[in-house]
Amino acid sequence: MGRWRHPCRPSFGWSSRQGAVGTNRPPLRPASRTLLTMDEPAAAPAFRLAALRPPVALALSGGGARGAAQAGVAIELIAAGLRPDLIIGTSIGAWNGAWLAAHPDDVESLATWWLDAEVRRIFRGMWLGYAGALAWRRSAALSAGRVDHLLGRGLGDMTFEELPVRLVIGAADLLTADLVYFDSGPVAPAVRASSAIPTVLPPVALGDRLLVDGGILDNFGVHEAVRRGARSIILVDVSTYDLVQPPVGLGEIFDRSTVIAQVHQRRRSAAAAAGAGVPMHLIEASNGESPLDFQHAAAALEHGRAVARAWLAGEALPPLRPAPPAEERVRLLQRWRVLEEQLVARMSAMPLWRRVAQYGNGSDPAVPAADLEPIDPVGDAAG
């Protein structure tokens, strides 16, 4: 499959893990701007960047609202002198990556974008939208109107070819199961496709493809960075976090299921980079907030900046906790059972009319964990 063209849309360049590269762009080569030169002021963190072998790829993971922390990391890295030869973005990483590639000399404007009121309310009405989607058999809880407006403000009609920094954006095709990477044509539609979270935002039809969030197949883009010739990769991951508490409630169960899938994806990505002899520098910056909560962007930005400064200073970033030992897993499971029993007991104590009004069929209570009796996660769950 080569380049494809929709009769009513601009053409896009793409490559697929199942197909051939869809553009004739030259292979990735190190740019003269990759790192600080000796004639420039030697900043304290320059040694971290000097250790990178060009060409350098900056890989930006998905992670929803946690992308604000990712933006903070990227802003600090670029301010310290990083000049990537390639940016690969997936989902919210596609948004951050497109902005950085379009405005490499004004990266602070990305922080301003994250603090914009329109960004903070991008998912407003989502839960009510799910009810409407079920009733009317829509493809998603929200329309793409807000997303399109934000993309128009930030990127307009800009194309990949016009970007000062080479950009690649990943998406998943619902019709063929292909992992598709865009690298030419209009940028905004590719970003929207890459960030079309299934059931939250509608799929994007481009040509003969029906595209959704690329993170469901590869949330990191490391394989693609290696394939395109990167010799050093900085991966800024905001999709994983410490698994220190058992998930309680539908939302937490869904989020945890996504996280453990990302953990395994990242392990495979690291193995692919190591197998190709390409150093992958991992910067974990998740602040633990919900990926759907865009109200805490300011704190997330500062968290990301702090993480980047620590990495640039040579500090060892705290790794994610390893899987808990068997004894702790037993205690966590006991805690989960106690919380479930509390939920059932609370629901059973309600009058039937209130139970139906609050929980529908009365079988799936969604009481916030904060309202439940606190239990020491590493102590005796029965205590």
Work out the average pLDDT over 79-97.
96
Closest listed residue to residue 380, CA positions, set 322, 328, 326: 328
Question: SS3 string of 300-358?
Answer: HHHHHHHHHHHHHCCCCCCCCCCCCCHHHHHHHHHHHHHHHHHHHHHHHCCCHHHHHHH
Confidence of residue 52 (pLDDT cuts 50, 70, 90): very high
pTM above 0.85, yes or no: no
Segment 279-296, tens digit of pLDDT:
999 999 987 777 878 888
Segment 101-123, tens digit of pLDDT:
999 999 999 999 999 988 887 77
Alpha-carbon span 259 to 237, nearest angstrom: 12
- What pLDDT shows up at residue 354? 60
Segment 302-343, tens digit of pLDDT:
999 999 999 998 887 665 555 667 777 777 788 778 877 777
Work out the average pLDDT over 163-170.
97
At a CB cut-off of 8 Å and minimum separation 6, what does 88 contact?
57, 58, 59, 60, 97, 167, 168, 169, 170, 181, 221, 224, 225
More confident of the two residues 13 and 2? 13
DSSP letter string, 76-94 = HHHHTT---SEEEEETHHH
Alpha-carbon span 18 to 342, nearest angstrom: 49
Work out the average pLDDT over 184-203.
92
What is the residue extent of each domain of the chain?
A: 52-313, 326-353
Cis peptide before 55 (omega within 30 of 0): yes
CA angle 134, 67, 120 (to 5 degrees): 60
- What pLDDT shows up at residue 30? 56
Q: What is the CA radius of gyration of the chain?
A: 22
At a CB cut-off of 8 Å and minimum separation 6, what does 8 contact?
none
Q: Look at the domain 52-313 and name its fold.
A: Cytosolic phospholipase A2 catalytic domain (3.40.1090)
Least confident of 72-76, 171-175, 252-256, 345-349: 345-349
